[in-house]
Structure 1
Amino acid sequence: MGPHDLITKEDLEKFRALLLEDIRQIFQGNGTGPVAKKWLKSADVRKLLQISPGTLQNLRINGTLAYTKIGGTMFYRLNDIEKMLNRNPDSGSSTIG
């Protein structure tokens, strides 16, 4: 690409789509990589904590549980879940480990 080449909106949209797909593959992995063990999807978090989708949404909204949104998928760091549980020992949630 030379100094006189223009990047179009379509070029940026294609790049974004490719980048998001690469990031999804890294996070989802095959379930055995180090990233797959550190990041959980919403369904996994709900199952782990035995909470409803609405409760998980409330944890996100009020800032109790940090998350990262990639495309349309929410990811939660296992470390953040552990910190939340340690801050709220009487929440009735199950422990991790």
Structure 2
Amino acid sequence: MNVELITKADLQELESRLLTEIKKLVPMDGQGVSKKWLKSNEVRKLLKISPGTLQNLRINGTLSFTRIGSLIYYKQDDINKLLEGGAK
């Protein structure tokens, strides 16, 4: 039986690497960079829809999404396609 101990330093390094990868996926606001990912409230405002309608779009597969923890993110490109009438 091979046992490896995980130290606090190991966990901190993992946390740092995970945060770096997440930041690549979700750019911070105010940097003049077009956001690739939008949160649910931003999508609802953009599409002028209710939370229930957004949930229905997720459930029926009209709008793909990514969940990170308790937050749901949507690709800007997918939103643009939906607005143009060419949903997934």
Common fold: TM-score over 0.5: yes
- Residues 1-97 of structure 1 mapped to structure 2, 5 A cutoff: 6=4, 15=14, 19=18, 21-22=19-20, 23=22, 25-26=23-24, 27-32=26-31, 34=33, 37-85=35-83, 86-87=85-86
TM-score, length-scaled by structure 2: 0.68
2:4 maps to a residue whose letter is: L
Aligned length: 79
Task: Answer whether contact 2:57 2:63 (CA < 8 A) is retained.
Answer: yes
Which runs of 4 or more aligned residues in structure 1 lie more than 6 Å from their structure 2 counterparts after TM superposition?
Answer: none
TM-score, length-scaled by structure 1: 0.63
Cα distance in 1, alignment partners of residues 32 and 75 from structure 2: 14
Structure 2: unaligned runs, 5 residues or longer: none
SS in structure 1 at match of 2:35:
helix
Percent identity (aligned): 51
Query: Where is the helix percentage greater, Structure 1 or Structure 2?
Result: 1
**CA distance 1:79–1:6, shift in 2 (3 Å):** same
Cα distance in 1, alignment partners of residues 32 and 3 from structure 2: 39
1:53 maps to a residue whose letter is: P
In structure 2, the partner of 1:91 is none
